[in-house]
Amino acid sequence: MHRIVNVVGVGGSSRPGSTAEQALRIVLDAAQRRGASVQLIAGPALAMPLYDPHGTTAPQARRLLSAIAGADALVLASPAYHGGISGLVKNALDHVEELREDTRPYFSERAVGCVAVAHGWQGAVSTLAALRDVTHALRGWPTPLGAAINTSTACFSPAGDCKDTHVQEQLEEIASQVVEFATIRALATSTT
Ligand SMILES: Cc1cc2nc3c(=O)[nH]c(=O)nc-3n(C[C@H](O)[C@H](O)[C@H](O)COP(=O)(O)O)c2cc1C
Name the average pLDDT for the chain: 95
Q: Are 98 and 61 in contact (CB under 8 A)?
A: yes
Query: pLDDT at position 192, please?
Result: 60
Residues in contact with ligand 1 (CB, 6 Å cut-off):
13, 15, 18-20, 79-83, 117-120, 123, 151
- For ligand 1, what atom is nearest to the CA of residue 77? 26
Q: Tens digits of per-residue pLDDT, 66-125? A: 999 999 999 999 999 999 999 999 999 999 999 999 999 999 999 999 999 999 999 999
Mean pLDDT, rounded, for 151-180:
91
**DSSP state letter for 156:** B
Q: What is the C-alpha separation between 160 and 143, in angstroms, rounded? A: 24
* Residue 17 in this model has a pLDDT that exceeds 90: no
pTM of this prediction?
0.97
